[in-house]
Structure 1
């Protein structure tokens, strides 16, 4: 019988830092902490508006959306993609692939701290730790392309004839 405690997203993120215990301590105090891009994922920095449209296209096309970090004050989102996946996105305009070892200021997953918030996939019976499944760089590339060319599909209908603002 396996009695090992399941890995939480907080522990997984903290493991990227030089001192994971310090990250977990800061999060326990309700503060942000520095995690590091590199050993477990690549990080793609995208302007917030483009990121929102990209997420809509990923959803519309039925692609998995992995964890990503939003910061409204900086109008920026940081998407985690599998290690090595950033290389496939390096030539895409309007984004920046962070180099390994680059610090990322992050709140504890599930907390809104320092104007930052993680967007996390929902766990299911088949995927109890969905944060380990990161966004496909190929799907992200295609969605960024679509999001940059057009508006995402809308569920909102046009105003009725004769409507005035």
Structure 2
């Protein structure tokens, strides 16, 4: 019988930190901190829905994490951090606009995609693949992704 090598607690802890903090990994199975925050926000919103109001453990979780969620929502970059200059293109599920980051002179192109249209055309829309290409593609040929965020209506 072959014994598994025992990996130290410190090594496992460092691996978890590396998985979360290492943005250079070109592996679509790796979540970055924004992906984890997105998942936590979805979980929180779902736990706040009326169908879970009577579950003691869930209401306890909601109360426990409410302040943390509030701080995430206050500090995450969002659409309100940009001023729209003009629309430069429209497509089947959204548009591309030129925006200026507020309180700076930084100019960006922002792709705004309708969630309802993406769900309607789920068989042809590949937003996750597009995101992964923008994050890990060759910067010589692929536009750099600076920020990605969503609200209830748009990605």
Per the normalisation by structure 1, the TM-score is 0.25
The structure that is helix-richer by fraction is 2
